[in-house]
Amino acid sequence: MAFAEAVPRARSGIPGPDDPLWYKDAILYELHVKAFFDSNDDGIGDFLGLIEKLDYIQDLGVTALWLLPTYPSPQRDDGYDISDYMSIQPAYGTLPDFEAFVDAAHSRGLRVITELVMNHTSDQHPWFQAARRDPSSHYRDYYVWSDTDQRYRDARIIFTDTEPSNWTWDPVARQYFWHRFFSHQPDLNFDNPAVVDEMMRVLRFWLDRGVDGLRLDAIPYLFEREGTNCENLPEGHEYLRQVRAEIDQAYVNRMLLAEANQWPPDVRPYFGEGDECQMAFHFPLMPRIYMALRKETRTPIVEILAQTPEIPPTCQWGLFLRNHDELTLEMVTDDERDYMYSEYARDPRMRVNVGIRRRLAPLLDNSRRRQELLHSLLFSMPGTPILYYGDEIGMGDNVYLGDRNGVRTPMQWNGDRNAGFSRADPQALFLPLVIDPVYHYQAINVEAQRRGPSSLYNWMRRLIAIRKRYPVFGRGDIEFLHPSNLTVLAYLRCYEGQTILVVNNLSRFVQPVELDLRAFQGFVPIELFGETVFPRIGEAPYFLSLGPHTFYWFRLEKSC
């Protein structure tokens, strides 16, 4: 798998000193190019439009952009059905436009993370079209074929709403092909060395263009073995170690982010011994944050983090509240799933596959306090926080749109035509704007919130700025406190002599709490948002009173 054409240890182009652990201090901003800003009035966002809005992203304070797929695609799965790995979807621009975007982002100190969908292609990809037409084609073994649909019967069906089987009959090939997702997305055959080499060429192609990180979509499903559930197989980890070794040999400070929607013990191997992916999403934590909020008890959060194994010191969890997909409920029990549906998705239209297709603000009934509280958790838990575009202004959704499109609507820039997203005919937009009375773009938009000092947007800017001042949030350990009041979630974050105390009230009512802080006797808590000095810690339990759905971040300093 050696490719001599890559420049050894190539930098991405980001200015400043080298930091191989940059992702530990990062704050990621996830966006869809087509949903952000339209520069050519065709109703679809593009790279030139994204370049125009980079100053906004820089001003928000985030440090890295995660772009959803931008490859050529039939768009039957919002770009995750790729028909060409080495180009750009024409509606989004050209390859030079992408390169200009990367340069513009780097010049502002913003790193760029893109998608790499390794597991499958579109059925319109030239590889698949050649494979299905000719059994003797070089590309036939690029995919997994069978004369029967009874193989790998222990593998679960992921898209239960639309797919009755993981096998689909192809009338041209006169065989079944394997797919873990939609039937128009045939899985690649990673037992074929030619496929492995193709993927390495794709990796190098984008890393050579300055990409700082790659999100590896659907990474647990690359290999199939009879008698298993075809997930998390040893062959997949061996392949990831090969990929990581190739990248580390040729590039500097690049990052791999694993999308593995699994229980924490099953995700842990994707870090390897620090020789596979540097980051992985913590999927099971996210629904339990919502459960803890609605049940008004810290137990779901504490229990799932207690089940989370230690990871290598060079690795990091990726944390999120919402993203472009449904709020997945795969990693919860049946009873927990029923509870989440009853509390957060009573209308069946809010459900898709095994999850809830809603944005953050509607999930929280547009409560400002609850949005702030959950962002406090997101930004103070161990890991790297990921913010979904529009959540910084409290954007709404549209449950009447199909699939997961209701959370992928155009960014709301102002109250003018098309929310300032595009000058196209409103009917030409790739998706309709949110015009719900509560979340209407004339009420919820960037321009209005920038003008309001107390807006959610300006509060988010302050939260991000505070997080960036304290490396302990991205690199420190966590120690939970155990007050008798279960509605209060309190923990210490410690790193290189710095200690932060975080106290969260999960209840909708005022709550008292007594904290055992005897280990910090003589220290003084200083609240981080206002630099307010609180009473010195003594031998007695430390008493605090918390308003409904409020939180404190304290810096503990020795008193003089």
pLDDT tens digit sequence for 496-520 = 999 999 999 999 999 999 999 999 9
DSSP string, 541-558: PEEEEE-TT-EEEEEEEE
**Alpha-carbon distances of 352 from 156, 367, 431, rounded to whole Å:** 17, 24, 18
Q: Which residue has the tokens 């059925």?
A: 123
**Long-range own/partner contacts, residues 4-11 (CB < 8 A, 24 or more apart):** 5/204, 6/204, 6/207, 6/208, 6/250, 6/251, 7/208, 7/250, 8/249, 8/250, 9/249, 9/250, 9/251, 9/252, 10/207, 10/208, 10/250, 10/251, 10/252, 11/251, 11/252, 11/253
DSSP string, 343-400: HH--SGGGEETTEE---HHHHTTT-HHHHHHHHHHHHHSSSEEEEETTTTTT----TT
DSSP string, 176-198: EEE-SS-TTSPBB-TTSHHHHHH
Give the pLDDT score at 10. Answer: 77
In this structure, are strands 355-356 and 327-328 parallel, antiparallel, or unpaired?
antiparallel
* 13, pLDDT greater than 90: no
391: Cα separation from own chain's centroid: 13
* 6, pLDDT greater than 70: no
What average pLDDT does the chain have?
95
**Alpha-carbon distances of 141 from 134, 146, 147, 258, 429, rounded to whole Å:** 11, 11, 14, 26, 40
**Which has the closest alpha carbon to 46: 114, 93, 98?**
93
Task: State the pLDDT confidence band at 354, using cuts at 50, 70 and 90.
Answer: confident
In this structure, are strands 28-31 and 384-388 parallel, antiparallel, or unpaired?
parallel
CA–CA dist 407, 427 (Å, integer):
19
CA–CA dist 376, 550 (Å, integer):
9
Give the pLDDT score at 11. Answer: 78
DSSP summary character for residue 328: E
Between 16 and 36, the more confident residue is: 36
**Which has the closest alpha carbon to 74: 66, 64, 84?**
84
Task: State the pLDDT confidence band at 161, using cuts at 50, 70 and 90.
Answer: confident
* 3, pLDDT greater than 60: no
Which residues are part of the catalytic machinery? 217, 259
Task: State the pLDDT confidence band at 391, using cuts at 50, 70 and 90.
Answer: very high
DSSP string, 57-125: HHHHT--EEEEPP-S----SSTT-S-S-TTS--GGG--HHHHHHHHHHHHHTT-EEEEEEE-SB--TTS
Question: Which range is least confidently modeled, 59-68, 327-336, 420-429?
Answer: 327-336
**Alpha-carbon distances of 307 from 98, 300, 504, rounded to whole Å:** 41, 11, 21
Domain 476-558 architecture: Sandwich (2.60)
* 551, pLDDT greater than 90: yes
Q: Which residue has the tokens 């028909």?
A: 83
How much of the chain, in percent, has pLDDT values that exceed 90? 92
| Cβ atoms 68, 388 nearer than 8 A | no
Give the pLDDT score at 16. Answer: 76
pLDDT in tens, 452-499: 999 999 999 999 999 999 999 999 999 999 999 999 999 999 999 999
pLDDT in tens, 41-94: 999 999 999 999 999 999 999 999 999 999 999 999 999 999 999 999 999 999
**By three-state DSSP, how is residue 1 classified?**
coil
CA–CA dist 76, 152 (Å, integer):
26
CA–CA dist 64, 28 (Å, integer):
5
Task: State the pLDDT confidence band at 9, using cuts at 50, 70 and 90.
Answer: low
| Cβ atoms 446, 412 nearer than 8 A | yes
**Which has the closest alpha carbon to 549: 503, 518, 517, 483?**
503
Contacts of 453 (CB under 8 A, 6+ apart): none
Give the pLDDT score at 8. Answer: 52
Beta partners for residue 217, in sequence order: 117
Burial of 333 (0-12, 13-18, 19+ CB in 10 A): exposed
